Structure 1
């Protein structure tokens, strides 16, 4: 084990993203976009109960996770909040095209604290901030932030808002700022709004105002896939039911 890999291992352990240098064969390490946490926690529990295998889940912004995969993190499955970071891994030869499946869809939403009923729509966004900050994931790196900037630009709102953005490392952190009342408004996914009782859904951005929101699932590693592995389980009916209940759509059923 060289010095670069030892350094990476130490970073992953300190960040809580990897349980250690040795993992049992039946343990699946999954890197997933932060916006998937509520649904994917439940899917993993179901899988563990049905198969007896263990799933270790690590959540962060898709960009941060993709960079860790580039650095050699021993990941079995990666769920990204957009295809771009997966395309980058394919271009580098770290992912085979046949091991990538477009899985889920989502919508982009504007949220406010539950108790704040002043904001009634996206069009009133600049005035509604009233000197506060709009919470968003990193607008140049994290999918939710990228989609958000696209949507605000398409609606002609970005120039008025660009100096009033509170950028966070991932969409869950942006949601948390709104839930705690530290930001009056936030741009997150619809599924985030449904999962967090301390925020209310102000409105959904038009789907044609940004690129389609698609979550690909990626199988990594050299082991041959089986019909019972977690990669395939995520594409099955039991997982689909959980994703539907949490507000996601399936790419396979998109119009």
Structure 2
């Protein structure tokens, strides 16, 4: 009986172990596209969406992420400065737009010169908020708009404030406006009014390397383009 039991243990030890799901941390603005990309990849993955600043701080604190896609390079630079080892590459681009509710269509950046509340992601931490503030400063609008800004934890939360009518206007990425039928684009900010919007991807573990490679491939590129993202090669 003992010999049979030992033989059974050996047999079980030889069975292939079930691979753990890959954990992906991604900027909130990537949600629709990344859900589709991960489904196309076909492997098991857990995806956590939030503002890039919050995700970077979680990683630095020891959160078990295999892949991180930030909405700007600064938070990857910060992680490297904290001693986090990673392999990185620029992946996507985007643009910044002003939106209103779809049933309250307005036209032109001059709409910001009124007294309406303006929804934005956190202007000192979240990339969308940082880019948006830079654009407003470049156009000499921040001094008047700043006191009316309603800050949200991430860009999708700012988008929701506009779609739900909590704020008449909002600064979000063009891809966010495309993903939300409840809003309409009022104006697109000139590219030169803010730093280039780049989404870098980083593999933080060996398990994340195949996912990063897929994200840089043709199939993922087609999905990202369909969701309105530019490719860094463009």
Q: Which of residues 39, 46, 62 in structure 1 aligns to 2:52?
A: 62
Q: Which of residues 15, 32, 38 in structure 2 aligns to 1:38?
A: 32
Name the count of aligned residue pairs: 218
Q: Give the C-alpha shift of residue 123 in structure 1.
A: 2.4
Give the corresponding residue for 2:108.
121
Q: Give the C-alpha shift of residue 244 in structure 1.
A: 0.3
CA distance in 2, matches of 1:95, 1:87: 11
The unaligned stretches of length 5 or more in structure 2 are: 1-17
SS at match of 1:115: helix
Q: Give the C-alpha shift of residue 240 in structure 1.
A: 0.3
Q: Which of residues 21, 24, 31 in structure 2 aligns to 1:27?
A: 21
**Which of structures 1 and 2 has the larger relative contact order (alpha carbons within 8 angstroms, sep 6+)?**
2
CA distance in 2, matches of 1:56, 1:252: 28
Q: Give the C-alpha shift of residue 25 in structure 1.
A: 2.9
TM-score, scaled to structure 2: 0.90
CA distance in 2, matches of 1:126, 1:25: 55
CA distance in 2, matches of 1:90, 1:181: 40
Q: Give the C-alpha shift of residue 92 in structure 1.
A: 1.6
Q: Give the C-alpha shift of residue 191 in structure 1.
A: 0.1
Within 5 A, what are the aligned runs for 1:5-16? none
Q: Which has the larger radius of gyration?
A: 2
Residues 68 and 172 of structure 1: is their aligned pair in 2 closer, same or farther, counting only changes over 3 Å?
A: same
1:88 corresponds to 2:78? yes
Q: Which of residues 71, 94, 99 in structure 1 aligns to 2:61?
A: 71
Give the corresponding residue for 1:232.
213
TM-score, scaled to structure 1: 0.83
The unaligned stretches of length 5 or more in structure 1 are: 1-23
CA distance in 1, matches of 2:208, 2:49: 25
The alignment yields a C-alpha RMSD, in angstroms, of 1.4
Write out the 4+ residue segments of structure 1 that deviate beyond 6 Å after TM superposition: none
